[in-house]
């Protein structure tokens, strides 16, 4: 099953010309989960994945830069005559916030469920689950761990044949958990294999709850609002530096680290350089980058710069300087410390286990 992340907005506090406000789209098979919904998120989605039918919106906290895009998104779904239910979940205060915005913006006609999650709460999904984590910010805040169920072990056809299973149609029955001619699945199946794990910190100081949840995660998406020369300000405002995020990732032995929530106070290249002194494989995605997460035995996570962007026509590139291949696309790459590359060029993430 495919699992990938689309970085919809990677800035923090206020948008810049290159980075929108926080939003991360998790796509697993046919499911779509949006984590945070900063101002302008629906337009960012239209420029990338399209306005997909979301199944769930998770809010990390209720500071304005993380959820002011939600009223417009909910109303657009209503204008499109959505009928499927939608769940919005977040920390305490989420229900009253959503009720207030619907009083101002008007209600919606599709079923809308609002949940408030305490640390340790779990949302079960089909084949995976979401755990709420206590983050340390100013006010109630949650990180999220998205964890797939364990997968069956590998089937051993030679062992099955040695035990007298000659009909290959019975191989499938054994793999589905049936006992065939006295042979049980445990006799021919290897140990269960772990599913994938993705952890999103939200806004937080470095904290043990995120570190523990991220233990050997396939991907940790962690905020990096400040560089280390502003560590005091980071602590005071409930944020992390790029170095602190990298230190946490290294101690949790994650496979890949993606830094988000970049402040305009410093150059992205400075944050990335700082992080890579502690975690050499650190990534600093830009808006519309993709991160594909295969099963561990199939390789490392794959970073695809610009992989989620809608491909404009040549004319659109001339009109829009931010479009892929537009006049200052190379300058934008340079500002983020990236060598300009074709749209589907991909950089393998170093496996640090």
Helix axes 70-79, 94-105, angle to 10 degrees: 60
Beta bridge partners of 223: 260
Backbone angles phi, psi at 286, to 5 degrees: -100, 170
Cα angle for residues 331, 332, 333 (degrees, 5° grid)? 90
The CA–CA distances, whole Å, from 336 to 45, 232, 283 equal: 22, 25, 11
303 annotated as ligand-binding: no
261 annotated as ligand-binding: yes
Cα angle for residues 54, 55, 56 (degrees, 5° grid)? 95
**DSSP-derived secondary structure for 112-137:** EEEEE--TT-EEEETTEEEEEEE--B
The Cα 88–Cα 270 span in angstroms is 35
In the three-class reduction of DSSP (H, G, I as helix; E, B as strand; rest coil), residue 265 is classed as coil
239 annotated as ligand-binding: no
The Cα 238–Cα 236 span in angstroms is 6
4 annotated as ligand-binding: no
Half-sphere exposure of 228 (CA within 13 A, CB side): 14
66 annotated as ligand-binding: yes
The Cα 45–Cα 35 span in angstroms is 13
Catalytic residue numbers read 65
- Tell me if 133 sits within 8 A of 119, measured CB to CB: yes
Binding-site residues for Zn(2+) sit at: 61, 63, 65-66, 137, 203, 261
Binding-site residues sit at: 61, 63, 65-66, 137, 203, 261
């Amino acid at each position: 099953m495919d699992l990938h992340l689309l970085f919809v907005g990677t800035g923090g506090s206020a948008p810049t010309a290159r980075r929108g406000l926080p939003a991360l789209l998790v796509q697993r098979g046919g499911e779509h989960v949006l984590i945070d919904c900063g101002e302008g998120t629906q337009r960012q989605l239209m420029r990338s994945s399209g306005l997909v039918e979301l199944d769930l919106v998770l809010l990390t906290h209720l500071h304005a830069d993380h959820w002011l895009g939600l009223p417009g998104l909910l109303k657009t779904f209503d204008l499109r005559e959505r009928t499927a239910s939608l769940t919005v979940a977040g920390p305490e205060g989420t229900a009253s916030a959503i009720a207030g915005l619907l009083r101002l913006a008007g209600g919606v006609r599709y079923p809308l469920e609002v949940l408030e999650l305490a640390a340790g709460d779990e949302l079960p999904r089909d084949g995976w689950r979401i755990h709420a984590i206590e983050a340390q910010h100013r006010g109630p805040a949650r990180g999220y761990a998205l964890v797939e169920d364990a997968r069956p072990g590998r089937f051993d056809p030679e062992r099955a044949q040695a035990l007298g299973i000659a009909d290959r149609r019975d191989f499938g029955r054994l793999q589905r958990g049936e006992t065939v001619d006295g042979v049980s699945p445990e006799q021919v199946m290897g140990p269960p294999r772990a599913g994938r794990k993705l952890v999103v910190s939200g806004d937080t100081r470095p904290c043990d709850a995120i570190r523990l949840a991220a233990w050997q995660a396939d991907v940790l998406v962690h905020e990096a609002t400040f560089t280390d020369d502003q560590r005091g300000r980071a602590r005071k405002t409930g944020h992390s530096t790029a170095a602190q995020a990298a230190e946490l990732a290294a101690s949790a032995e994650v496979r890949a680290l993606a830094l988000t929530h970049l402040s305009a106070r410093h150059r992205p290249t400075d944050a990335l350089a700082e992080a890579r002194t502690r975690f050499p494989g650190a990534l600093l995605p830009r808006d519309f980058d993709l991160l594909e997460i295969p099963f561990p035995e199939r390789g490392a996570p794959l970073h695809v710069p610009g992989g989620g962007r809608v491909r404009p026509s040549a004319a659109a590139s001339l009109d829009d300087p931010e479009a892929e291949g537009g006049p200052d696309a190379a300058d934008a790459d340079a500002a983020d410390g990236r060598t300009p590359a074709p749209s589907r060029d991909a950089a393998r993430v170093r496996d640090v286990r």
